[in-house]
Every structure is written in structure tokens, then in C-alpha cells.
Structure 1
Amino acid sequence: MTINKLKRTAICFSLLAAFSCTDNFEEINTNPEGATTGQIEQDYNNIKSLFKPSFSRMYISDITWQYQIQQSLQADAWSGYMITPVPFGPLNNYDYALNPGWNYYAWDVAYLDVISNMYKVKQRAEGKFDQFYAWSLIIKVAQMQRITDMYGPAVYSKFGDLGAVLYDSQKDIYTQMFKDLDFAVEELTKRVNAGEASSFKGTDLSVYDGDYSQWIKYANSLRLRMAMRVVKADAALAKTEAEKAVSHSIGVFKTNSDVMNVKPSVNLEVIDVMSHSWVGLFMGADMQSILGGYEDPRIAKYWNTAEITPGQYASVRTGVTYPSGTSYAKFSQTGPRTKNGLVTWMTTAEVYFLRAEGALRGWNMGGTGKELYEAGIAASFEQNGVSGAAAYSADNTKKALDYVDPLFPANNTPAVSKVTVAWGTTNEENLEKIITQKWIATYPDGQEAWSEFRRTGYPKLFRIANNKSGGVISTELGVRRLPFAQTEVANNPKGVESGVAVLGGPDNGATRLWWDVNKANF
């Protein structure tokens, strides 16, 4: 399998000032004075049409090679989830020789296909049809949380400016995202309390089918995720925002009917295609070590057994030297979890684990840490259609397995994760258990798993076998961020310069983000 060629039509850049060279310049750069009778008669179609791309482009669920560039060749591997069985040339993210030809794509897609459309919604709906403006803010925040957690500083408040578009610091981005969620939740809650029928039905491609209450729960749950992300950078802000999310009258996810699943307009299961049709995506060593060691029944939902070891699983360690392009072709490929036609933006299990950590920190999360932790495990088991959550949660014996490469013993390495599943005694021990179980439950979203690994150091993952970063990126700490997009370096250099100024270090993969604070978890 070889990586599909990038075939992109020329785009007028600066990317983030792209509106200055679009065909509809006047429409985008002029605030409409109001909706015409014709616009109202067409049932807000001039606004609704802008939402569709967001549902398929947030995680790029409609074009396989684009998902591969956006996430598979970076976070999915750095999280320990899955890995390609072949090398892709001398510059390879897996061994930390970061490839700039891959690492710009998440940025480009986010701004061109999602943020730009939500900006148009703002122009057409703000102050007139605020239910749509509120909805656009939730989607914008969901996208920007991913982007800023990849790159750090980014364009947020200055989006749509002409000429050089300056970057916001990550701290300022998070501050503004919380404010945007404030408006969105308040606006939609007001409409729910008034008994208003949803304007989103028929446009909403998620399983929520336009339900305002469900979008409020998602916004609150997203707030909780963001609050926990910043806990080491601003503990007071984290506590305030987390308790705000949980205490809201409609609240956060509590049952699996709340899981944020999207039904892509193109029914293409991109991870399954990469793994099976391309024979190019296989089980990561950490997945086999942790799930195999716990005898976790979810392993059969996530992965197929391997042809090389009939009836058993076989995984690939990140950063190994590939003897040939087919050496690992008979190892474990993806299983039913990535073959259900849905893309998961957030799970109920994750929300319980976030609340469990909050309780561990003494916040009011509506339950004890142990109760919420075990509820998270139960929710994940139910979501994946497996039984035995209670016995699994009580197990205080099983631990992660050593990694064994059935073909190349030189890659073997001892297990690094040492915790059992059962609730422990100290805060640090229990945090490791919470994050390890969140890591299992969050699969296959490697981006979120990579972010939590950077924030907490958990779960403990195998170090890569070959570090080719030239001493830039630590083997122990791993990649901390993506360098700024090459499209921006070429076309918005002053913007990139402003981003580097608030980054706190050089523009490379070793510089920590604002929330990635080098201090103890407690």
C-alpha cells in the first residue's frame, strides 16, 4: 500500500484570509442587512446549507486519503491506537521525523470546510436567527478545540480579516471558546424552555435529528472536556467551567442515547477502508498490551484476530524498522467498531470519566470518583455491546502485557502500564486508571487520546523504537504538537510570526502547548 497522492486544486491564500479572494467576496465580506422574504420562504436554506460540510469534514469521514493525512498519520499512532504496517519514506511522523507535507492538512480542512462556513452562518444569522448562530458556535468550538490542541496558537478572533491574519494564543482561544459556549447554551436553553420546535430538523446529520436539548448536552459535555484540558494551566477556570457544565439544568451526557454520533452523507468507513481495502492500518502495540492484559471484551469489537497468529491478536509497535512493505500484512486489522456507518464525536463514557477526574479533584460532579469511574466503564461496555462491566471494574489482578513481535523479537519490550482496573487508593493511581479507561473508551479518536496523554502522561505508552527527529523531540515525552501549516508559512507569514510569538517555544513538534504544563497532575 502506498499513500494516495494529494491532488488539490489551487487555493487562493492566505488561507485564513481566503475570503478576500473568493468568488463571493461581496457576500462574505458584507454583513447582510436582513433576511428577505424569499430567504424566509425557503426555510432558512441560505443558512442551513452551510452546516452540511461540517458533519463530514470535522473528522473527514467522506474521503479516505484525506482522513489519513489529517489524523491517521499522526495522532492515531501517537495515541498508541493504530499504525501503518509500512514506511512512507524518509520523513515519517511515526519515528518523529515530522513530515510537513502531512501536517498542514488538518489545519486547511478545518478552516476551509468548517470554520469558513460557520463564519458565514454568523453573518447571515446573528441577531436575526440566533438558534442557527448558537448551533454554529457549538460546531465551531468543537472544530477549534481539535485544531488548537494540535497546533496551539491559531486564528480565532481575527478570522475573516483581510491581509495578514494574526493568531490568538491558546489561552485566549480557550477563553473565547468558553464564552461562545455560554451564548450557545443560553440561547438554545431559552428556546427549549419556551417549547419551541427545532429549526434544525432535516439539516442536522447527527443522530440528534435537530433536538435542541441534545445539542445543549453536547455543548455542556464539550465544555467539561475543555475544562479538564486546562486544569494544569488554570485550575480555578477549569473547576468553574466543569461545575457549570454539570450543574446546568439540562446537563451533560448520562446515557448512551446521548452519544454524539454523526451519520456522514457519504457512507464511507474510512478507517475500515484503510485497514482492509488498503491493508494499511493495524493494531497498535499499546492496544494489544492493555486490552489483552485486562482480557477486555472490547478488544474483539475494536480488532480482528491476526492471520499470523490464528485466534490471537498481533500488533505493530510504533517507530519500528520495516524490513519490507509486507512484513506486517497479516497482523490484526480493525474490527466491527469502525464498521457501523457512524462517526463518534463524543461518548457518554468519556463524560463519566471526566466527571470522575473532577470528583477526584474535589469538584462537585454529582457523584464520587469511584461511582463515576465505574459508570464510565459500564457505559463503554454497553456502547460496544459487551457484558461483564461489574466484574471487570472490580478486577485488581490483571495488568498490561509485555509486547511481543511474533516476527521480529528485537522489537519486544516490557509492559509500561502497571495499573489494574479496580479503583485504587491514591489520587495519582486513580487518575492513571481513569485516563487508561478513557483511552480505551475513546477509541478510535486518536486525536482526543493523544491530547489526554500529553496532558496527564497516561496511559503509559511504549516508547517508539527509532527516534529520527535529530534530537528535537524527546523519545520519553513524544510529539507535543504539530508545527504550523506550511500553507500558512508560505501565504500568511505575519500570522505565523504572531503565532510563534505566543507559542512559548520554537515552531516544532517538541514545544508544549499552553495547557501542557510540565508539572505534577496533583
Structure 2
Amino acid sequence: MLKKLLYTTLFALSLISCSDTLDDINKNPNATETPLAPYLLTGTLKQGADLYWGSTNNFDSSLLFVQHWAKIQYTEPDRYDVSNTSFTTLWNTGYSTLITDLNTILNFSNEQANSNYKGIALTLRSWTFLLLTDAYGSIPYKDAGQKVTPTYNTQKEVYTGLLEDLKKAQSLLATANGAVTGDLVYKGDILKWKKLVNSLRLRIALRISDKEPALAKQAAIDATSDGAGVLSSNADTFQFIYTSSPQQNPASAWFETRDDYRISKTLVDKLYALSDPRLPVYAQLPSDASVGKYVGGANGLSNSDANSQGFAKTSKPGKYFLTSTSPAVIASYSETLFNLSEAVARGYIAGDAEQLYKSAITASLNQFGITDATTISTYLNQTTVKYDATNYAKSIGEQKWIAFYGQGLDAFVEWRRLDYPVLTAGPATVLDGKIPSRFFYPGTEQSLNGSSYQAAIAVQGKDLLTTKLWFDAK
């Protein structure tokens, strides 16, 4: 009996020892057991930039929809021949990585993260939710990160909630509230973060302007009257600066091994028509020197027709965008000036809409290295560029579309919202001559969060690329 008891005890001890050993073996030696706010902030900024500028959400979808880029082979995305597995990256990374990590910072004690970390986290979380609702429409917002099967909030609820979140973020940010490290964008400059917050508030004010003009006006007033101000120079532009491989700009990484995109013929033709000095920045001359001019690729062609345009006879996106260190611009000074111009044109705030429009174009030209005063003046004084007060949406919409080159997700929103420029779907597209108005929800939402998904589309409309979102439904 004693012998049996000893065997049993030794066996139990061996199991415990084995379990401890397996626990040690299965630990990730590179993982941080207690995540730190600076590391989470650094990771969020890098992953957010990759998400915004990466292939799935940018040059394989939104840049094609707004006809900044075109496919010269494998043209299915350019023909809108896609499925509910095509747009999962924005959703999955947005929720499981960005929002999760930012919520971790927000839930830290004051000892783990001062209020500036939390203000920055709330700002970045608001930006992430904004990307999600702009692309999909109704999304999990209030329940996100709180429930396994979160309910969806309508786009109106999300936008209005984000205005409140950004107001709170502004109250958390102050130079006296402690230092911030891990900030690869503003290097801990809290005054610049406060400007970004107000610029995002102004951005959202215009998102809701056609549906909730009274609320939009108040939001625009709040954003522009706040003492911190809005982005006030190109030095304030919110952008992630990449380095060398493997931390390079996603477009640069793509073109190292692939060659299936060209600048769109729609954009090249427009830039030629306006004698726009940004054309040599936005595009490369074809590798066939005999062509001697910039040639865009047509959007929405069959694979054979796209190929037949000639790889050597069409223009790749400009080298500026295909270098390792090309910045991922997320909120530019130019955009803020365009938004101020529109807010004035709508009667929301006081100011000179035409001068702000000119300043916005100038800021964009400067952003891309065009600083010669004569060149800028000549461009601005063209009849085709001058501000039209009787149709501000056309003037701002067309120039904003040009200035947003490379920023597909936001260019896609502004094109839908302002309805300019007028774009035409390519000949081989599959949506009966329509251009997409949104992204599909990921297919996993139907299987893993079916009740919430069904409730959302019952209100918003069918889960189709052509279903117009709340802000866009005229």
C-alpha cells in the first residue's frame, strides 16, 4: 500500500513538473508580459500607417475606385470583381490590433500611462473607428472590445460619438500632463496632437454636413474656436516616416517584387489638362523612352486589354511614392485648409473660402516639393483652377482629389461626399456601370456575429458594394 502511494505521489509530481516545463517552453521570449504604453503607441502608429497605406485598403481597392491608380494585370479589383473576403484587413487589424492595443492604454492606471498617453490613444482610436465607418458604414463601436458579439452602431451614432470622444481627448492633452515617449510621428509634441484632434473634429463635421447641418456647424465652430487651433503648416501634417527595408513604405515594398499597377489615365489626363506641376511627382515616364510623355493606364479593363496597353509604354506611380522612406500621410495641412474653405462656404465659420482654397492647393504643391512662387501663381490663376463660389463642391472636390493622391481611403470618402470629380466606371466592370460606394463586411461577421450583422444591414441596406452609406445618401 505504501509503495502504491509513493508511486502515485511521484506520478503527480512528475505531471506538475512537466506542466511547469511546458509552460516555460511555450512562453514567447519576445513577448512583453506587462505591455508598456510607449511600446503600444509605437506599434499602433506603425501598424496604423501600414493599414492605411497598404495594399488591401489602398492600392488594391480605394485608389482604384477613385481612379488614382489602375491595374495593368490581375484586374479583378479594378473591375470590382471582389468578394466579402476582399476587405478583411481593415476590419480585422482595425479591431483586433489597433483598437485592442489603444483600449489597453486607455485602461491603464495613471501610473502606467499619464493622461497624454490616454489622450493620444483616444485620438488614434477615433481615427481608426473613422476609417472603419467611412468604409463599411454601420460598425461595432460602443460595444467594440467589450463583447464577443458586439452590436453595430449606425454611422450617424458613430460620427456623433467620435465627436464626443475627440472632445474628451482634447481635455486629456496638456503639456503639463507628463512626457510621452514612443511617439514616432510628433515626437511627444502635445501641442501638435491637440491640433490634430481639432482637425479630425473638423473632418467629421464635414462628413455629417449633408445629413446633420446644425450639428456639423457647431462641431466646426468648436473645432476652429478651440485655443489649440488646427494643423497650421506642413510641419504639422500627421504622417508616419518610414525607413529602410523591412520598415519601408508599403508601396515601395510592393514594387520591389511586383509590377501590376499604373497611375490612372483619368488622373494623368486631368493633370495634363491643368498643366499641373505635380504630374512628374505623381508619375514616372514610361520605361520605353520613345513614348516621351506620361501615359496613364485605363481603369476597369479586362486582363487582356490592360496588358495590351504595354508595361513599358505606361507610367508607374512616381518614384516619390515608391521609395523606402516615402511618408504615409494620414492628415495633411492641405486637407485641413480645404476643410476650412468648405466650412466657410457652407456658412459654418467666418473666413475667406477662396483664399483658403488657394492656400490649400499651395500647401499641397509645397508638400510635394513645388515651391516656386511663379509656378504656383500661374497654376492658381488658370480659369480651370480658380475657385467657383457658385459650385464650391466642384472646385474643392476636384482639387482635393488631386491633393489626396496616395491616400485612397480618404480620397474615396471625399469623392463620395462631394460628388466630384465625375468619374466613369471602366468598360469591363461588373456593377452595371456603377463605382463602389463602400466595402463589403468581412464574411466572418455573418458566421461569428450573425445577429448583429443582420440587424445592421436591415437598417443600412444590403451588404453590397453599391449600397450608399448614411453620409452619402443624398
Q: Under TM normalisation by the shorter chain, which class is it?
A: 0.7 to 0.9
**Residue segments in structure 1 that go unaligned for 5+ positions in a row:** 1-22, 24-41, 397-419
1:173 to 158, 183, 188: 158
Native 8 Å contact 1:79 1:447 kept in 2: no
Residue of structure 2 in register with 1:118 after alignment: 102
- Rounded to whole Å, the distance in 2 between the matches of 1:126 and 1:165 is 28
* Between 217-226 and 259-268, the greater mean CA deviation after superposition: 259-268
Separation of aligned partners in 2, 1:172 and 1:125: 29
Change (3 A) 1:68 1:381: same
* Paired residues of 1:286 and 1:462 also in contact (CA < 8 A): no
Counterpart-to-counterpart distance in 1, 2:57 and 2:300: 19
Deviation at 1:295, TM superposition (A): 1.0
- Whole-Å Cα distance in 2 between the matches of residues 121 and 341 of structure 1? 29
Match of 1:68? 55
Q: 1:407-426 residue pairs with structure 2 within 5 A?
A: 420-426=384-390
List aligned pairs for 1:259-274, cutoff 5 A. 259-264=237-242, 266-274=246-254
Letter of the structure 2 residue corresponding to residue 217 of structure 1: K
Aligned pair count reads 432
Deviation at 1:361, TM superposition (A): 1.0
* In structure 2, C-alpha distance between the alignment counterparts of 1:126 and 1:99, rounded to whole Å: 44
User: Match of 2:329?
Assistant: 344
Match for residue 487 of structure 1 among 422, 434, 444: 444
SS at match of 1:250: coil
Distance in 2 (alpha carbons) for counterparts of 1:172 and 1:318 = 35
Q: Which stretch of structure 1 is more off in the superposition, 287-296 or 127-136?
A: 127-136
> Distance in 1 between the 2:256 and 2:293 partners?
18
Evaluate the alpha carbon distance shift between residue 57 and residue 352 of structure 1 in structure 2; reply closer, same or farther with a 3 A threshold: same
2:332 is equivalent to residue 332 of structure 1: no
Residue of structure 2 equivalent to 1:252 = 230
How big is the shift at 1:106?
A: 1.4
1:149 aligns with 2:144: no
Question: Which residue of 228, 234, 239 corresponds with 2:217?
Answer: 239
Partner of 2:149: 164
Determine the C-alpha separation between the residues in 1 that align with 2:218 and 2:189.
Answer: 27
CA contact (8 A) 1:218 1:260 kept: yes
Which of 280, 283, 288 aligns to 2:263? It is 283
On the 8 A contact 1:74/1:93 being kept in 2, the answer is: yes
2:165 aligns to what SS in structure 1? helix
Equivalent residue number for residue 184 of structure 2: 205
**In structure 1, how many angstroms separate the alpha carbons of the residues matched to 2:447 and 2:58?**
22
**1:87 aligns to what?**
74
Deviations 1:208-263 (A, max 9, x none): 10100000111111111111111111111111111211111111112111111113
Please state how far the C-alpha of 1:276 moved relative to its aligned partner.
Answer: 5.5
Question: In structure 2, how many angstroms separate the alpha carbons of the residues matched to 1:395 and 1:257?
Answer: 28
SS in 2 for 1:345: strand
- Give yes or no for the alignment of 1:512 onto 2:473: no
Give the C-alpha shift of residue 110 in structure 1. 0.9
Q: Report what 1:463 is aligned to.
A: 425
2:276 matched to which residue of 1? Answer: 296
Structure 1 residue 162: deviation in Å? 3.4
- Following superposition, the deviation at residue 512 of structure 1 comes to 1.0
Aligned to 1:394: 381
> Alpha carbons of 1:325 and 1:355: their partners in 2 closer, same or farther (altered >3 Å)?
closer
- Mark the structure with the bigger radius of gyration: 2
State the partner residue of 2:38.
48
| 3-state SS in 2 of match to 1:58 | helix
TM-score with structure 2 length normalisation? 0.86
Distance 1:95 1:219, change over 3 A: same
The alignment partner of 1:261 has SS state of strand
1:322 pairs with 2:303: yes
User: Take 1:126 and 1:515, find their aligned partners in 2: how far apart are those partners?
Assistant: 37
For structure 2, the 5+ residue unaligned runs are: 1-22, 24-31
Letter matched to residue 160 of structure 1: G
Deviation of the 1:45 alpha carbon: 6.2
Q: Is the 8 A contact 2:51 2:90 kept in 1?
A: no
Distance in 1 between residues matched to 2:115 and 2:411, nearest whole Å: 33
Whole-Å separation in 1 of the counterparts to 2:420 and 2:414: 7
Q: Distance in 1 between matches of 2:424 and 2:253?
A: 26
Alignment partners' CA distance in 2, 1:324 and 1:433: 33
Residues 115-150 of structure 1 show CA distances to partners (whole Å, capped at 9, x for unaligned) of: 111111122147973222211110001111111110
> 2:301–2:427: 8 Å Cα contact kept in structure 1?
yes
